[in-house]
Amino acid sequence: MTTDGRDCSAPQRPGRLASPSVVIIGHSAGGWIVSGYPGTYHDVAAMIQADINGSNAQPPPGTPIPPGPTVSIIPDPNHPDYFEFFQTRQDCENFNVYPPGEVAYVVQIACAPPFLDSPFGEFLDFGVKFTQNDAAISAIGPSIPVLLTSGDHDGVDPPVDAQADYLYYQQHCGCDVTKLVLPNTAHLFMVHQSLPLWVNYVVGWLSAKRLAPSRPRPLVPCTDCVVPFLR
């Protein structure tokens, strides 16, 4: 969409910026956005969803589900429609990091206070968002391949949820969908040793879908790039 004004409150009209080579990637809450995009607009070449379940799919009844990370939702007194997702470095690490697989100096950077506030809207419209996404996923079709990625120690998108989401796509999207689960990785996959594996896999996946860049990119050095969790 494009707007006639300086912000999104102005009258909007459909955009005309479609490109056959644009690939959209969304991580965490961004994954909710990209999961509903291709089936709504059909103007991208591929979609990659990371560390979130885009659909409202649930694991089978009786499936043990590990507890997710806890978050203290404290309103920001200066911005009442926002809240402080993390208050301390430890909050950030508990939510995002699996220590056995971390890259320590990157974690230090990623979890350094102060933290940006988060909008309450991200958590208040779950039901509406999932309903919209389920409908959009069912409309993706065969022209847009989908890659779902997550970590095997992600508390936000644990393997049981990731598998249910993957099965939902398989059954409803009518698209070419692939799943990648990274070993020894939690929610913020970018701070883990598996990041080169993710980058190299995505490059290979895009190439297999005939979406390789016009100028080949070198692979990221990776000492152990065997992924036993591909589907």
**Per-residue pLDDT at 217 exceeds 80:** no
Enter the tokens of residue 17: 């910026």
Window from 57-61, 106-110, 138-142, 226-230 with minimum mean pLDDT: 226-230
Task: Choose among 210, 203, 143, 133: nearest CA to 169.
Answer: 133
**Per-residue pLDDT at 71 exceeds 90:** no
Pairing of strands 46-50, 23-27: parallel
Predicted pLDDT of residue 191 = 98
Structural domains of the chain, ranges and CATH numbers in brackets: 17-208 (3.40.50.1820)
Window from 7-16, 67-76, 146-155, 215-224 with minimum mean pLDDT: 215-224
Q: Mean pLDDT for the chain?
A: 87
- Residues 139, 38: contact at Cβ < 8 Å? no
Find the angle CA(136)-CA(127)-CA(48) to the nearest 5 degrees: 40
Beta bridge partners of 76: 79
Predicted pLDDT of residue 16 = 65
Q: How confident is the model over 48-57, as pLDDT tens digits?
A: 999 999 999 9
**Per-residue pLDDT at 8 exceeds 60:** yes
**Per-residue pLDDT at 1 exceeds 70:** no
**Per-residue pLDDT at 20 exceeds 90:** no
Predicted pLDDT of residue 121 = 77
Query: Taking residues 166-186, what's their average pLDDT?
Result: 98
Q: Pick 156 or 17 by higher pLDDT.
A: 156
